[in-house]
Amino acid sequence: MGVDYNLDVALERVGRLDEALGYYERAVELDPSDDAARAAAARLRAERR
């Protein structure tokens, strides 16, 4: 987990979900093995439906 992931979590906690999703996706781009960021992005995408 890197800085991007930590920012994602903070944005999600304050309700800035679209921004958080973008950062989760960026974290996965930077580290495709980051399962926590991948799962969080998937969860946010599912919640948006």
Residue ranges covered by each domain of the chain: 3-48
Tokens coding 31: 């580290």
The C-alpha atoms of residue 7 and residue 5 are separated, in whole angstroms, by: 5
8 A C-beta contact, residue 11 and residue 30: no
Q: What pLDDT is attached to residue 19? A: 94
Q: What pLDDT is attached to residue 1? A: 54
8 A C-beta contact, residue 31 and residue 2: yes
Tokens coding 34: 């980051």
> pLDDT tens for residues 12-47?
999 999 999 999 999 899 999 999 999 999 999 998
Q: What pLDDT is attached to residue 41? A: 95
Q: What pLDDT is attached to residue 38? A: 95
Q: What pLDDT is attached to residue 6? A: 81
The C-alpha atoms of residue 3 and residue 46 are separated, in whole angstroms, by: 24
